[in-house]
Amino acid sequence: MSYFDEERETFERLQREAIAVLRHAESENRDLSPEEKSANDDRYAAMKSIQSREVFDRLSAQRAIFAAADNGATSGTVETPHGTVTFPQSAPGRAEYERNLQDTGSCHPSQFGGGTGETARKQQFAQALREFAATGDTSKFATVTTVSGGGILLPRDVATPLQVIDANAFRIAIAAVGSQVIFTPLAADLRIPILDQAAGSVVSETATVETSNDPLPASITLTAKMYQSGSAWFSNLTLQGLDYNMEQSIIPELNHSREMALEGSIVSAIIADAALASVLLPTTTTVSYAAMLNLIRAVPRRFARQLAIVINSEVFGALEKLVDTTGRPILNMDPANSEVLRFNGTPLVRSDFFETFGSSKTVGCVMSGLGFKLRDAGQPAIARYANIPTRPSQTGFNAFGAHGFGWSPTAVVKLKTPV
């Protein structure tokens, strides 16, 4: 006898017993005694529990089967904690599943202690994911065993994936000027041509040749490198003992660490690039309005659009204190992004990776979105480490991502302190 048949038989027995008690009391023309009422209440609760489990388990199994069918399978079985379940792939079967799904809100709330079907489903999936991350236990997942791609783990109910976005200073600057980060699904080197803006000319009606606009030697090569957040380790006891989604809470922190590693690499490359022009501050510890204007004006005309300034905390703080002749700050808030200020309309972003005040230090830069390029190659990933011999009772997580960056030598100008 299958699991579902056993549950149905138990349900029908409880129903018969409850009806018999009611008819017996009716035949004696009396109300139920306290003992009879208590016994029937227990029967009704058990019946409701069986009905809820059956609906939920059938929907879960059907969801896995229909997902497999959508990928080309014509039949299949699903292994659940209660045994093997098979469902036909006929249109009536799918219609019944859709009706049940609409009636129950994807799962019965009483299975998870209340809440809507959507909320309960997410809570159940999050709990199963936490247990899987901590122990590798797959008992809360259904396994498709007789369709192509056998052994694939399917969550009993699927929650909406968490989308995480963490930006470094240069991503913020690129977005502020209306430019975009380049994305490629593969990680091979990418060469971005920089054309000669002076190559254009008037074309006469009798012209027999056209002007060639070949890429300049300053074209940008974006080589993708792998960046990581560094592994974070947690006690398995902590992961299992908390009613809290530790994995989801740590992912934003890991992604932020990876982005900071990328930001630090960009700043280090700018500091080391001897081909870049530079503008000096008045002294090794002071900032002036004129120096910031000179920084913007140092960008040649061809790149004098989509400009953004990235500076260290000291320059940022000094500029915040500068005021005009009427006492108003020279920096204005960007209404679209609280992390961005504007200097004469040019976005200004802070990065703590530039050098601090001192002799001949690079404390910031101005960049053009036309000649500064940032690249993401492929999709970022979160690695999970379990069953490591040197850490037998711990689980680790690390965020990885492939990125590249580059610029034309005249598209970036350094802000430096004097010698």
pLDDT score at 27: 83
* pLDDT tens for each residue of 108-151: 333 333 334 445 555 565 666 556 555 555 555 544 444 343 44
Q: What is the dihedral of CA 112, 114, 119, 123, to 10 degrees?
A: -30
pLDDT score at 48: 76
Q: Are 136 and 240 in contact (CB under 8 A)?
A: no
pLDDT score at 13: 86
Q: Which two tokens stand for residue 279?
A: 């503008």
- Dihedral sign (CA 282, 286, 289, 295): positive
pLDDT score at 242: 63
pLDDT score at 40: 87
| Listed residue (289, 385, 298) closest to 343, CA to CA | 289
CA 268 to chain centre: 27
The rounded average pLDDT for each run of 10 residues, N- to C-terminus, in the chain (419 residues) is 66 84 84 88 82 58 59 56 52 48 39 42 58 56 43 41 62 93 91 74 78 67 94 83 71 90 97 96 95 96 93 95 90 87 95 96 96 92 87 89 93 96
How many other β-carbons are positioned within 10 Å of the β-carbon of residue 244?
12
Q: pTM score, two decimals?
A: 0.60
What is the C-alpha separation between 276 and 351, in angstroms, rounded? 19
Cβ neighbours for 291, distance < 8 A, ≥ 6 positions apart: 279, 280, 281, 282, 415
pLDDT score at 293: 96
Q: Are 412 and 276 in contact (CB under 8 A)?
A: yes
